[in-house]
Chains A and B, each alone.
Chain A
Amino acid sequence: MEGFLNQLPIGLSIGAVLLLIALGLTFTFGQMGVINMAHGEFIMAGAYTAYLLQGWTGRAAVLVALPVAFVVAGALGLILERLAIRHFYGRPLDTLLLTWGVSLVLQQLARDLFGAPNVQVQAPEWLQGGPGIMPYSRMFILALAIGSVVAVWAYLNRTGQGRRMQAVMQNRRLAATSGIDTGRVDMRTFFIGSGLAGVAGVALTLIGPVGPALGTYYIVDAFLVVVAGGLGQLRGAVIAAAALGLLNSFAEFWTDASLAKVIVFVAIVGFLQFRPQGLFVLKSRALT
């Protein structure tokens, strides 16, 4: 029974990880419609940022790296958007191939820069251990996920920039005719979306491997959350992440890891049969 009860916090903490890795995608994929396969590599860039900062800051690297990784991954995203993706807006399949190629290049680059073996990022002393099955590192990730969601929500709803971003997402042409510089808004959206991937990467150093293939382990899960939650819907992503985390945790408890993955996928496919738009749909009066 104790083992069973433990699965509840475990499910929530899996959900927190899912939410963190998917949050950036709700911007780039959800709001802009760009299928960015390199999103996983921005997560990797965040993790390596923590690794590099370790040389200066020691065990505090994880904390210091949060803002730095946001800027590093965001800058990478900005470069990608300016140099390549912006020429492919409205062509999702081409973007998919392009960004997949970019992700392979970034993985190889990491391999050349840091070597093929995993590197180690030491967790701060105060994040080690914890009561029972819910370690401090998991609580930290949960808190970070909640903090990120609140920050993103506030940005979207309480700032002019955020409102312009939502306007462009809801109706790009109307926003443009109303005098919004949509190119600038696109850049900003991509910067924030990629930056959030960097933040997720720092958090993942606490629980997983830090190596060139890091991004590939999380990219599919990230897309799952965004699709199930409804494109561009913050609350959809939050609920989908929590639901998938719990489903995963209990399914794995009763079966095994491989079967749990199957169950989660079947559940999502079944769910999308009834609600192809995901949990929440943006209501607008646009004809498209």
Chain B
Amino acid sequence: MRNSAWRTAIPLVALVATLGACGAEPATSQQAGGGEDSIKVGILHSLSGTMAISEVTVRDAELLAIEEINAAGGVLGKKLVPVVEDGASDWPTFAEKATKLIARDKVATVFGGWTSASRKAMLPVFERRKALLWYPVQYEGLESSPYIFYTGATTNQQIVPGLEYLKEQGKKKIFLVGSDYVFPRTANKVIKAYAAANGMQVIGEEYTPLGHTEYSTLVNKVVQAKPDAVFNTLNGDSNVAFFKQLKSAGATAESLPTMSVSVAEEEVKGIGVDNIAGHLVAWNYYQTTENAANGKFVAAFKAKYGADKVTSDPMEAGYNAVYLWAEAVKKAGSVEVEAVRKAAGGIELERPEGLVTIDGENQHMFKTARIGVVQPDGLIKEVWNSKEPIKPDPYLKGYPWATGLAQG
């Protein structure tokens, strides 16, 4: 009896102690956005599961930005304190962790998300609680939430320039290959509308489930169709299998060039340079982009995380997000959400990708589009850019051929 009584007692004691600790914790962080001399900011990416491969590096870049800002004296004289949460590649978890960051940790803003599914899951949480999310990845457009800032490209800053480049190169017959979810399907709608209006021909459209690794049939279909180029919106690990199997089927970058919008420096390493060298990608930033801000960013990233690490577009967009938010806070003189939103419009910063300006109207960024070719050393060399930052147009209102897409 005595023995079993103890067995019940020990977990009880532990439970009470835990509850006590939980109860005590919020008392020290009651003030919105942190204590007297600190501001809490949330970071919410998948640190486990299938998306961890990409999102971990964005978290690293965001933590680097926070560290740099703190070293330079912080924001409004206060230090930034990151609260990192794991979205676990599971969309409901993103919504749940976002609620936790806003309600319990009372963070001033959240930097996070990667897949469109995770953003769509978090959107209602941020709108309902009137909190701020900074989303760092290129996406399919057709969205403009007042509580989200989009620091990655929308379609007219990445996919449309990619198509313009292919058209310029005389590639008329295009084969579309994508993962089966919202981003590739929406992107392909845009591509088909563009092709129809610009004398290009879409001769095939194929989707594979996320995580698909068997591409021999699809490669056979592509090879048989004899397109001038493949527009690739595959995501994640599928890219590795696709490029390995494309190469081993005898297709080269010369005979069958591909334009990818989800393959950056980080992915090139996993795909294997042998398999993808010479193929095209469309982004707004490459590790090789030349300017002072980028030199500093690349050096700082390598110093903190290792000389063998590479920097990529989404990492740079995450890194920018922290700086842009900090700039808006300085301008507003407060971390209060509505004040920051109002102050953010028109903010201009020299970033590693070049000049970035926040469009106050749709909360996207003016960004320079860049087409690159994968080099044998694994880095990407720019072969074309839009000369100046392109105004973000998430609903493609400025493009006559895109009429009707916003409704569909």
Contact = CB atoms under 8 A, between A and B. Distances in A.
B85 interface: no
27 contacts: A3-B224, A6-B224, A7-B220, A116-B56, A117-B57, A117-B270, A120-B272, A122-B272, A128-B248, A133-B216, A135-B250, A138-B248, A207-B241, A207-B245, A208-B237, A208-B240, A211-B270, A212-B53, A213-B237, A249-B217, A253-B217, A256-B208, A257-B180, A257-B206, A257-B209, A257-B218, A260-B217
Contact of B217 (A7, A136, A217): A7
Interface of B: 48-50, 52-54, 56-57, 180, 206-209, 211-214, 216-221, 223-224, 237-238, 240-241, 244-245, 247-250, 266-267, 269-274
A209 B213 contact: yes
Given A118-B271, A207-B213, A258-B180, A3 B220 contact: yes
Given A133-B249, A208-B244, A13 B53 contact: no
Q: Which among A122, A136, A252 has the highest number of chain B CB atoms within 10 Å?
A: A252
A166 interface: no
Contacts, number: 131
Contacts of B207: 256-258
Contacts of B209: 257-258, 261
Interface of A: 2-3, 6-7, 10, 13-14, 17, 108, 111, 116-122, 128-130, 132-133, 135-138, 206-213, 216-218, 248-249, 252-253, 256-258, 260-261
A12 B220 CA distance: 14
A211 B245 contact: no
A14 B216 contact: yes
A211 B217 contact: no
Which applies to chain B's interface (DSSP): helix, strand, loop or mixed? helix
Given A3-B221, A129-B250, A118 B208 contact: no
Contacts of B52: 111, 116, 212
A216 B214 contact: no
Nearest to B46: A116
B56 to A, nearest CB: 5
Nearest to B247: A128
A120 B245 CA distance: 14
B220 A118 contact: no
Contact of B241 (A209, A216, A248, A249): A209
Nearest to A135: B248
Contacts of B241: 207-209
Contact of A209 (B48, B57, B237): B237
B269 A120 contact: yes
A13 to B, nearest CB: 6
Contact of A120 (B214, B216, B218, B271): B271
Contacts of B273: 120
A249 B217 CA distance: 6
Given A117-B270, A206-B248, A261-B209, 15 more contacts: A3-B224, A10-B220, A116-B52, A117-B269, A118-B269, A120-B269, A130-B250, A133-B223, A209-B213, A210-B240, A213-B49, A253-B221, A257-B180, A257-B214, A258-B209
